[in-house]
């Protein structure tokens, strides 16, 4: 079996700079090295990987297909290196617990905040790093161990090839909210009053949307859906401006009133939203994630 050559990361750095600069001469100036040195080190890298990484195009060097693949990995490697330096530069690093969280863009921000408060209440110092993205993208990042946990409103879909696990945190009833003028108009006779009422709803790729649609259909209600939103924060902003009634967890009525100046119009008892923590572990081991699960099971809402 042929032994694969080990990549020298200094050579990889020279390649990375040449790729960014598009020229060995400019890369040498940036690295404060002789052009011959950079060229020789680049040749050793190409020899190690057994592929040409650049080809000449006029006065510039352009990446080959192998070069483009190498650059994608080099970008990730050197980004991680910068993050490592930042993490280790923290003067309290030995006394700090780091929690990197992916938050699904469909998860209400008020819920995410309440969940993460449990992690920050630990006696140890916790450094929280949050990323928001689409559900599928976050699962991919989690499977690569770039995240400690993903907080979302749905479990891992059945049949996924990734070795990740869903942990049900809990669920809550959903109510419709509106600014005072809308609430006064549509609270009387709820839910029949929803016929023709302006509604702001999540788009259909949101887990809660299908439940709301089913509830409306079961009661033969026909509101006027004036807006559909991928982003919950934008939905709530439109709701705060009085453009329609909008859904939010019943247990967060006080938070909704404080942040969005909206009050409950009526509850939708059959519409319940679930919250999940998704991790790489069947049994949670990260203390901060464990604190979130414990708080939920203890009735954080």
- CA distances for 247 relative to 144, 219, 269, angstroms: 34, 17, 12
Q: How confident is the model at residue 1 (pLDDT cuts 50, 70, 90)?
A: very low
Per-residue pLDDT of 5-47, as tens digits, reads 678 888 998 999 999 888 899 888 988 889 899 999 999 999 8
- pLDDT of the residue at 283: 81
Instruction: For residues 64 and 131, give the distance between their C-alpha atoms in angstroms, rounded to a whole number.
Output: 32
Do 265 and 238 contact (CB within 8 A), yes or no? no
Residue whose pair of structure tokens reads 């030995």 in the numeric block: 94
Q: Stretch 200-211: mean pLDDT, rounded?
A: 89
Do 99 and 147 contact (CB within 8 A), yes or no? no
283-286: long-range contacts (C-beta < 8 A, 24 or more apart)?
Answer: 284/167, 286/99, 286/148, 286/149
- CA distances for 263 relative to 245, 246, 251, angstroms: 10, 10, 12
Q: How confident is the model at residue 288 (pLDDT cuts 50, 70, 90)?
A: confident
Tokens at 270, concatenated: 């059959």
Instruction: For residues 178 and 184, give the distance between their C-alpha atoms in angstroms, rounded to a whole number.
Output: 9
- pLDDT of the residue at 186: 96
Q: 9-89 — its CATH code? A: 1.10.10.10
Return the axis-axis angle of helices 65-89 and 9-21, rounded to nearest 10°: 110
What burial class does residue 261 get, using C-beta atoms within 10 Å of its C-beta: 0-12 exposed, 13-18 middle, 19+ buried? middle
Instruction: For residues 256 and 248, give the distance between their C-alpha atoms in angstroms, rounded to a whole number.
Output: 8
Instruction: For residues 173 and 202, give the distance between their C-alpha atoms in angstroms, rounded to a whole number.
Output: 16
Instruction: For residues 293 and 287, give the distance between their C-alpha atoms in angstroms, rounded to a whole number.
Output: 10
- pLDDT of the residue at 61: 86
- pLDDT of the residue at 214: 95
- Domain locations along the chain: 9-89, 93-170+276-297, 173-270
- pLDDT of the residue at 87: 66
Percent of the chain with pLDDT over 70: 93
On average, the pLDDT of the chain sits at: 87
pTM for the whole structure: 0.63
Strand 54-57 relative to strand 60-63: parallel, antiparallel, unpaired? antiparallel
Give the CATH architecture of domain 93-170+276-297. 3-Layer(aba) Sandwich (3.40)
Q: How confident is the model at residue 221 (pLDDT cuts 50, 70, 90)?
A: very high
The answer, yes or no, to whether residue 301 has pLDDT greater than 60, is no
Do 208 and 273 contact (CB within 8 A), yes or no? yes
- Spatial neighbors of 146 by CB under 8 A, at least 6 apart, are 100
Strand 96-104 relative to strand 125-133: parallel, antiparallel, unpaired? parallel
Are 93-170+276-297 and 173-270 equal in CATH topology? yes
Instruction: For residues 151 and 97, give the distance between their C-alpha atoms in angstroms, rounded to a whole number.
Output: 18
User: Measuring CA to CA, which residue among 57, 67, 89, 108 is closest to residue 232?
Assistant: 108
Tokens at 233, concatenated: 């924060």
More confident residue, 223 or 3: 223
Cis amide prior to 260 (ω within 30 degrees): no
User: Measuring CA to CA, which residue among 110, 148, 144, 111 is closest to residue 128?
Assistant: 148
Task: Report the alpha-carbon angle 35-36-39, nearest 5.
Answer: 85
Tokens at 301, concatenated: 């809402």
Do 24 and 42 contact (CB within 8 A), yes or no? yes
More confident residue, 139 or 299: 139
Class level of CATH domain 173-270: alpha beta
Q: How confident is the model at residue 157 (pLDDT cuts 50, 70, 90)?
A: confident
């Amino acid at each position: 079996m042929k032994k694969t050559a080990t990549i020298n990361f200094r050579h990889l750095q020279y390649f990375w700079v040449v790729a960014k600069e598009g020229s060995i001469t400019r890369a040498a100036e940036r690295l404060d090295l002789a052009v011959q040195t950079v060229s020789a080190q680049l040749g050793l890298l190409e020899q190690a990987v057994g592929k040409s990484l650049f080809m000449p195009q006029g006065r510039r060097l352009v990446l080959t297909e192998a070069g483009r693949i190498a650059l994608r990995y080099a970008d990730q490697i050197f980004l991680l290196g910068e993050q490592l330096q930042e993490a280790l530069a923290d003067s309290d690093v030995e006394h700090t617990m780091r929690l990197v969280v992916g938050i699904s863009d469909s998860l209400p921000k008020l819920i995410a905040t309440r969940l993460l408060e449990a992690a920050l209440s630990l006696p140890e110092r916790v450094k929280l790093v949050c990323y928001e993205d689409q559900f599928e993208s976050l699962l991919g990042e989690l499977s690569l161990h770039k995240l400690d946990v993903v907080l979302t409103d749905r479990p891992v879909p059945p049949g996924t090839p990734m070795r990740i696990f869903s942990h049900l945190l809990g669920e809550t009833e959903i109510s419709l909210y509106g600014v005072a003028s809308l609430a006064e108009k549509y609270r009387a006779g709820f839910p029949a009053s929803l016929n023709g009422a302006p509604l702001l709803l999540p788009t259909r790729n949101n887990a809660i949307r299908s439940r709301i649609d089913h509830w409306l259909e079961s009661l033969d209600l026909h509101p006027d859906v004036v807006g559909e939103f991928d982003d919950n924060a934008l939905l709530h902003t439109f709701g705060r401006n009085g453009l329609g009634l909008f859904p939010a967890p019943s247990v967060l009525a006080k938070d909704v009133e404080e942040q969005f100046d909206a009050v409950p119009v009526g509850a939708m008892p059959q519409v319940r939203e679930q919250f999940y923590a998704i991790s790489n572990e069947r049994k949670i081991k990260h203390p901060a994630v464990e604190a979130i699960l414990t708080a939920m099971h203890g009735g954080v809402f």
